[in-house]
Amino acid sequence: MWYMKRRSFDTSRCAVIDEFVDLFWKHRDRSDPRPVVAGYGHQFFPEELVAACGLDPVNLLVGGSEEWQTRGMDYLTPTSCVFSRQMIGLLEAARDGRHGLPPVKAMIHSNFCSGDWHSMEAIHRYFGVDALTIAVPYKATARALALLAGNLRRLAGELAALAGSGVDEGLLSRSIEQARRLQNAASRYARLPVAGDRKLRDYYEIALAPWEQRVEVANRLVETRGREAGGSGALPLNIVLTGSPVLVGDKFSSLLDALDVPVRFYDFHFADQLGLKRVPAGPGDLVALKRHVDFTDPFQVLAAYYLEVAAPERMVQGVVDHLNERVRAIVDYVRFLPDDQAIDGVVSHVLKFCDVYGTDRTPFKARVQDIHGIPVLDIERDYSASSTGQITTRIEAFKEMLVARKKHADVLE
């Protein structure tokens, strides 16, 4: 599967990484960076644990580069996950001409999807990046809880060794409590009438701030955007963008803005999902694991969060129907809207060959539309520009349908 064929690419800083780098340094001292431990862009990056070990957790939420996507085909087959191939291109570009980030001490990768494992093998083998693994079971059961808590303890030991420190459960408990405060701040932000690229970039500023500053950054943005919004009225449409995350550098969100279909809720783990999901504080916050978690053990609390709460889209059937949980989250965004507003439509965005969001595309769309009556636009794409015209046409048609549907509903009222 592995083959090397050097291509000629410009390794200078490109637009995809520029904004990521700028936001990374916005709240850091360039003259005194801490050791960085990076995540792979998915939910299963235990930032709480990395921060508790005295390291700087940075999730590589970078996407949208056709060039890096193409670079990745030197290492993975063309039918591999688009994002995974792009991550290889990113790390190759960083090796050939650093883009302004401090050196990554290690990367944490998981079994969130098969592309993680395949591409991380190439990144470790060819670019010398140390890989720390975290294997997450696919069901929320008592046995899975014990297994994941043990995996997190093992990972904590590896992180502590990198930092030259010990594992302090008290620090982890405080880090988890900070995660809850951040989720509360995100819930307040989600209620503001902010949409489109500006909202996505605000979430990026929060996600890329140092761990200990994120709550402060989030609260400041809540205050600033609330003051800017003043008494502004409702948005013409309340759109949820879900599926494969649209990351900084990807032009898809800007395209929606340009077509006057700004996203009201970004249903991604680093964005509006923060306002919906909570690190459990007691048995009442759980269903499948409520009788199995020792809430005095921060490793079990963190394990329960990742098993039952954080990522229903990649779990298999168990006590909780995880596809229903994903659909319920879409519907639940209405709690952040005024009483006279509703979710008008959903854009289900799937990157090609994504084995997480691609698998349930059809049943997801059916449940949202048939059970809840919310129209869904299903889009599959990669990072190339060749399909932009066709996608534009489909978005415009979707918008026209939503506007007509809303006008009809207003007439009936």
pLDDT reading at 143 higher than 60:
yes
Which residues lie closer than 8 Å to 411 by C-beta, 6 or more apart? none
- The average pLDDT across 192-220 equals 95
Supply the mean pLDDT for the chain. Answer: 88
* Integer-rounded Cα radius of gyration of the chain: 21
pLDDT reading at 212 higher than 70:
yes
Contact 263, 239 (CB under 8 A): yes
Residue 349, beta-bridge partner list? 243, 379
Better-scored residue on pLDDT, 257 or 17: 257
Range(s) for CATH 3.40.50.11890 in the chain? Answer: 15-141
- The average pLDDT across 371-396 equals 93
Q: Where do runs of H (alpha helix) occur along 244-367?
A: 252-258, 273-276, 298-304, 322-332, 361-366
Lowest mean pLDDT among 25-29, 104-108, 290-294, 408-412: 408-412
pLDDT grade for 233, boundaries at 50, 70 and 90: low
Quick one: pLDDT at residue 3?
A: 31
CATH number, span 15-141: 3.40.50.11890
Class of domain 179-412: alpha beta
> Rounded to an integer, what distance in angstroms lies between the CA atom of residue 52 and that of residue 95?
28
Range(s) for CATH 3.40.50.11900 in the chain? Answer: 179-412
% of the chain with per-residue pLDDT over 70: 92
pLDDT reading at 82 higher than 60:
yes
pLDDT digits (tens, 9 = 90+) for 23-74: 999 999 988 888 899 998 888 899 999 999 999 999 998 888 888 888 889 8
- The average pLDDT across 10-28 equals 75
Quick one: pLDDT at residue 247?
A: 86
pLDDT digits (tens, 9 = 90+) for 312-355: 777 776 666 788 888 999 999 999 999 989 999 999 999 999 88
Quick one: pLDDT at residue 150?
A: 97
Lowest mean pLDDT among 15-19, 62-66, 98-102: 98-102
> Rounded to an integer, what distance in angstroms lies between the CA atom of residue 36 and that of residue 132?
13
Residue 242, beta-bridge partner list? 348
Better-scored residue on pLDDT, 189 or 119: 189
Contact 214, 157 (CB under 8 A): no
Quick one: pLDDT at residue 127?
A: 87
Lowest mean pLDDT among 92-101, 188-197, 245-254, 256-265: 92-101
